[in-house]
A and B are shown apart, each in its own frame.
Chain A
Amino acid sequence: MRGPGFLEQLEHALPGAVSGSRLDALDPWIEVNPERVVDVCRWLREKSEVRFDALECITAIDWFEPDPKKAAKVTWQPHTELVYHLWSTASRVSIVLKVKLPRWKGDVPGQLPEVASVSGVWRGANWHEREVYDLSGVMFTGHPDLRRILCPEDWEGYPLRKDYEQPVEYHGIRGR
């Protein structure tokens, strides 16, 4: 199962890949180094005792407070967090992976943060990663076909970022 032994096995197999964990949370989660995401996912799917054979969902959370007054009070540094929800069909347990990325690559606005694609591990990740790229602006390196999926191809900006501003006009349609 997912007990304490699980984390030790993972750390033994992939030293340095896990940077934090809470296995007693509502949804037990482990935090993974951005460079090791694919290794950890492959291990969870193919090597671990509980085979996490299904990727349910990828979510990007934008930790950024656009209001300077409120931003002074928050306890976290601005960053983008990727959350992977995995599920094991045989053992019927789930695990959550969290990956912390900078909001912009090298803190240069406009340069999307990068993380390796897991579409080679689960083919189903393809569309989920396209959606995250489309709405939250995360670049998945090694993705076979990274394009916008829900918004039109010529859409500007990433709507689920907290500092997103709706366009004034889009092809003659009033935006706001």
Chain B
Amino acid sequence: MAQLIDDDPRIIEFDVRTDEMLVNMGPQHPSTHGVLRLVLRTDGEIVSEVEPHIGYLHRCAEKIGENLTARQWIPYTDRMDYLAAMNMNLGWSLAVEKLMQYQVSERARHLRVLIAEMGRIASHLVGMGAYGLDLGTFSPFLYAFREREKILDLFEEACGARLTYSYITVGGLTADLPPGWLRKCEEFLDQFEPVIQEYHALLTTNAIFVKRTAAIGVMSPELAIEYGCSGPVLRGSGVDQDMRRDGESIYTAMYDGYAFEVAVMKNGHYPRDHAYPPVPSDTVIGDCWHRFFVRMLEVVQSMDLVRQAIDRYSACKGPLGEPVKLTEKIPAGDAYLETECPKGQMGFYLVSDGSAIPWRVRARSSSFSNLAVTHELCRGCLIADVPAIVGSLDIVMGEIDR
């Protein structure tokens, strides 16, 4: 540690020991992605300890779930990760279907892939734009929201809502796509593809951005696994795990026949990395830059999956099928299922006593586990690096506090 401090040119006050100071960040700090309060113990500019305080958005959604039927709880899953509500609906629906041993129609399956991957793009756009905002650049935020707006327009046309969709539900989806939707979606993808280069120019290769994120908040794969981190946070540390490929069969069956490569660095290379700007030489695997870059790669990967889903969905002539009854009884037993949401592995656990209303529901939040690691990452960093590290975890408080 002493060696590290000696070598670090940023630390100029090495032998000047100042009084410790407690600094409150939040709960209304703009760069905390919602109502998160961080208490920093600082020595000058150096943070010696970070303690996150959460719970400002707590609604005890799990208790509410014990008073509603499984399908009635869908709108509450919307309000967990409100930036990727489609993926939340999907996670809960699949968990219930797992316990019911229910299989949706082929057409519903492809439509779910289509919608879930569009949701992933929308969520990663916010993650990327807001991350720029955390680091003091405003333009990427506007560029990202410009494109996200088009996805929301498409979602609005499909299900009537722009934020809390409740579109994917137990037993399928609430409605089929309106006529002409697929054409609009393809138009969006064609228009969106070249825009990604803009993002790379604005952030990924931007010298200031690289300086702020490279070798900051380095997380070893062991640390990430021990804390139960998942999603881009885990893959940014070089752990090759994606529930869409490695998860349980009810979930991976949804992606059967789809071609995609998990966005993770293997042997020093990202998949298809010739198509992207080169990885800056001063970054280290597991730092903020890599977590950000994995998200950027997943946007392209999701676009690919959406295109495949459009082809398969339009080739499917069978019926979409009706969702289960609102008061459908669930067989007694319990089931746990994790799905790959944009923020990480979101798990839903359902215990049923055989009636329509679950005995216990549980939401295992990916952001909760991802945030729990903050105090390890922030130890010894500069105050200005704290927003960079917390932002790179891409947390959403609605899901942490539930």
Binding site for B on A (CB under 8 A): 25-27, 53-57, 59, 61-62, 83, 85, 89, 92, 94, 96, 122-124, 126-127, 131, 135, 148-152, 159-160, 164
Choose among A26, A56, A92, A149 the residue that contacts B333 (Cβ–Cβ < 8 A).
Answer: A26
B345 CB-CB contact with A under 8 Å: yes
Asked if A122 and B226 make an inter-chain contact with CB atoms under 8 angstroms apart, the answer reads yes
Chain A residues lying within 8 Å of B227, measured Cβ to Cβ, are 122-124
Chain A residues lying within 8 Å of B54, measured Cβ to Cβ, are 149-150
**Complex A-B: 28 CB contacts under 8 Å:** A26-B98, A26-B334, A27-B334, A53-B225, A53-B226, A54-B225, A54-B226, A54-B228, A56-B228, A56-B347, A57-B349, A59-B349, A59-B360, A61-B351, A61-B360, A62-B360, A83-B334, A85-B336, A85-B347, A85-B349, A92-B241, A123-B227, A124-B226, A124-B228, A127-B372, A131-B368, A148-B55, A150-B58
Given A53-B225, A57-B364, A96-B336, verify A160-B63 contact (CB < 8 Å). yes
> How many residues of B are counted as interface, with CB atoms below 8 angstroms from the partner's CB atoms?
35
Asked if A92 and B246 make an inter-chain contact with CB atoms under 8 angstroms apart, the answer reads yes
Choose among B55, B226, B351, B373 the residue that contacts A150 (Cβ–Cβ < 8 A).
Answer: B55
Chain A residues lying within 8 Å of B335, measured Cβ to Cβ, are 26-27
Bound-state CA distance A148–B372 (Å) is 15
Bound-state CA distance A148–B373 (Å) is 18
Asked if A57 and B401 make an inter-chain contact with CB atoms under 8 angstroms apart, the answer reads no
Bound-state CA distance A28–B60 (Å) is 28
Taking the nearest CB of chain B, how far is it from the CB of A90, in angstroms? Answer: 9
B206-225 CB mask vs A (1 if < 8 Å, else 0) is: 00000000000000000001
Number of A-B contacts (CB under 8 A): 82
Say whether chain B's binding surface is mostly helix, strand, loop, or mixed.
mixed
Given A26-B99, A127-B368, verify A56-B345 contact (CB < 8 Å). yes
Asked if A152 and B55 make an inter-chain contact with CB atoms under 8 angstroms apart, the answer reads yes
Taking the nearest CB of chain A, how far is it from the CB of B61, in angstroms? Answer: 11
Taking the nearest CB of chain B, how far is it from the CB of A32, in angstroms? Answer: 16
In the complex formed, the residue of B with least CB distance to A61 is B360
Q: Which 6 A-B pairs have the closest CB atoms?
A: A57-B364, A124-B227, A150-B55, A124-B228, A150-B58, A127-B372
In the complex formed, the residue of A with least CB distance to B360 is A61
Asked if A85 and B63 make an inter-chain contact with CB atoms under 8 angstroms apart, the answer reads no
B residues 317-333 touching A (CB-CB < 8 Å): 333
Asked if B241 and A59 make an inter-chain contact with CB atoms under 8 angstroms apart, the answer reads no
Bound-state CA distance A59–B241 (Å) is 24
Asked if B362 and A89 make an inter-chain contact with CB atoms under 8 angstroms apart, the answer reads no
Chain B residues lying within 8 Å of A135, measured Cβ to Cβ, are 60, 62
Asked if B360 and A57 make an inter-chain contact with CB atoms under 8 angstroms apart, the answer reads no
Asked if B60 and A159 make an inter-chain contact with CB atoms under 8 angstroms apart, the answer reads yes
Chain A residues lying within 8 Å of B402, measured Cβ to Cβ, are 150
B173 CB-CB contact with A under 8 Å: no
B336-349 CB mask vs A (1 if < 8 Å, else 0) is: 10100000010101
B86 CB-CB contact with A under 8 Å: no
Asked if B226 and A151 make an inter-chain contact with CB atoms under 8 angstroms apart, the answer reads no
Bound-state CA distance A94–B372 (Å) is 22
Asked if A57 and B362 make an inter-chain contact with CB atoms under 8 angstroms apart, the answer reads yes
Asked if A159 and B63 make an inter-chain contact with CB atoms under 8 angstroms apart, the answer reads yes
- 6 extra interface residue pairs, beta carbon distance < 8 Å, beyond A27-B334, A55-B228, A127-B372: A57-B228, A61-B360, A83-B334, A94-B336, A149-B55, A151-B55
Chain A residues lying within 8 Å of B63, measured Cβ to Cβ, are 159-160, 164
B369 CB-CB contact with A under 8 Å: yes
Given A27-B335, A54-B226, verify A61-B60 contact (CB < 8 Å). no
Asked if B364 and A56 make an inter-chain contact with CB atoms under 8 angstroms apart, the answer reads yes
Choose among A62, A122, A148, A151 the residue that contacts B228 (Cβ–Cβ < 8 A).
Answer: A122
Asked if B372 and A126 make an inter-chain contact with CB atoms under 8 angstroms apart, the answer reads yes
Taking the nearest CB of chain B, how far is it from the CB of A173, in angstroms? Answer: 14
B239 CB-CB contact with A under 8 Å: yes
Chain B residues lying within 8 Å of A56, measured Cβ to Cβ, are 228, 338, 345, 347, 364
Bound-state CA distance A102–B401 (Å) is 27
Bound-state CA distance A55–B401 (Å) is 19
Chain A residues lying within 8 Å of B98, measured Cβ to Cβ, are 26
Chain A residues lying within 8 Å of B226, measured Cβ to Cβ, are 53-54, 122-124
B residues 346-402 touching A (CB-CB < 8 Å): 347, 349, 351, 359-360, 362, 364, 368-369, 372-373, 376, 401-402
Of listed A85, A124, A159, residue having the most chain B CB within 10 A? A124
Given A26-B333, A26-B335, A124-B226, verify A85-B372 contact (CB < 8 Å). no
Chain B residues lying within 8 Å of A61, measured Cβ to Cβ, are 351, 359-360
